[in-house]
Amino acid sequence: MSIKLLLCTDMDRTVIPNGMQAEHPDARRRFRKFCQSENVCLVYVTGRHRQLVEKAIRTYSLPQPDYIISDVGTKIFQFKEKRWQEVQSWCDEIDQDWNGKSHTDLKALLNDIKDLQLQEFSKQNTHKLSFYLPLYLNKDLVIKEVQQRLQKVGVNASVMWSIDELTNVGLLDVLPEHATKLHAIEFLQGRLGYTDNEVVFAGDSGNDMPVLASPIQSVVVNNASDEIKAMAQQLVVENGHPQSLYIAINPGPLGMNGNYSAGVLQGVWHYAEGFRPQLEARDNS
């Protein structure tokens, strides 16, 4: 019987080794080799937009994915006929949440809220309206005002808050309610016909938590913070499926430290026993 895998992974500090912890010297080569297998469908799930994903692939010699879930879940691209093509059916699905309103409509609705500063054009898209918000302000009051205005016009939105640690500035994203990493993975799983035990997700941070806490088979890479590991473990227990979470370790079953792509491979080894011979092969570059 043939085996197959839908391998979905975050990028920054998950397969991109741009955290503080050390990457195992053999990890990316083995990850790249494994993902070249015909029975592995690789999906990068990231807040980056597609051009930044492509840049990271080149910079870090990452394997080419079959799909990209980008822009915090608002876009899905398939690599088809030697180019990236947007999956229009995903746009159509999440567009229902905005109740006929366009990006321009929502921008006009929110543009007089004090201290919200529109982010650059490159950080916007049809279903992603992004602002800067200074950290010294009361973000909860601003988020509440944004949510009330959106609800008043019948828009079902997620208002996401995060911090850009490099610039120390607050980021506020307005997204369709269903434009999340979790819903996008579930959409691809259904579209491509993978069963629940043929899907593995890997992540490291708070914005991965909806997937890590879900029934999707997930791995937290070893370089994730203790807080993220503890939170994910608590949530899967509360949600009634503790078996759906694996925390990568050092040393791990594949002889690597579990950081970054080594942790991703540990997760596959844990959940997908049929792939263990491929994972354990070290002789090919």
User: pLDDT digits over 108-132, tens only?
Assistant: 999 999 889 999 998 899 999 999 9
Domain residues of the chain, as ranges?
Answer: 5-74+179-280, 99-176
Rounded to 10°, the helix 103-110/139-152 angle is: 130
Give all strands of the β-sheet with 129-133 in edge-to-edge order: 117-118, 129-133, 169-176, 157-164
Inter-residue contact 7 to 268 (CB < 8 Å)? yes
Q: Is 164 helix (H, G, I), strand (E, B) or coil?
A: strand
User: pLDDT digits over 215-273, tens only?
Assistant: 999 999 999 999 999 999 999 999 999 999 999 999 999 999 999 999 999 999 999 99
- Using the CB atoms, write b or e for 65-103: b if 16+ within 10 Å: bbbbbbbbbbbbbbeeeeebeebeebbebbbebbeebee
Report the alpha-carbon distance of residue 67 to residue 86 in Å, rounded.
10
Q: Which CATH superfamily is domain 5-74+179-280 in?
A: HAD superfamily/HAD-like (3.40.50.1000)
Domain 5-74+179-280 shares a fold with domain 99-176: no
Closest residue by Cα to residue 194 from 31, 42, 50, 30: 42
Lowest mean pLDDT among 44-48, 158-162, 185-189: 158-162
What mean pLDDT is predicted for residues 61-76?
Answer: 95
Q: Which residue(s) pair with 79 in the sheet?
A: 84
Report the alpha-carbon distance of residue 233 to residue 247 in Å, rounded.
9
Q: How confident is the model at residue 165 (pLDDT cuts 50, 70, 90)?
A: low
User: pLDDT digits over 178-211, tens only?
Assistant: 999 999 999 999 999 999 999 999 999 888 999 9
Closest residue by Cα to residue 208 from 191, 227, 232, 189: 232
Report CA Rg, the chain: 19
pLDDT of residue 280: 85
pLDDT of residue 284: 44
In the predicted structure, residue 162 carries a pLDDT above the cut 90: no
Q: How confident is the model at residue 285 (pLDDT cuts 50, 70, 90)?
A: very low
The class level of CATH for 99-176 reads: alpha beta
What are 90's two structure tokens? 């995903």
User: pLDDT digits over 134-149, tens only?
Assistant: 988 899 999 999 999 9
What mean pLDDT is predicted for residues 46-56?
Answer: 93
How large is the greatest C-alpha to C-alpha distance in the chain, in angstroms? 61
What mean pLDDT is predicted for residues 152-163?
Answer: 89
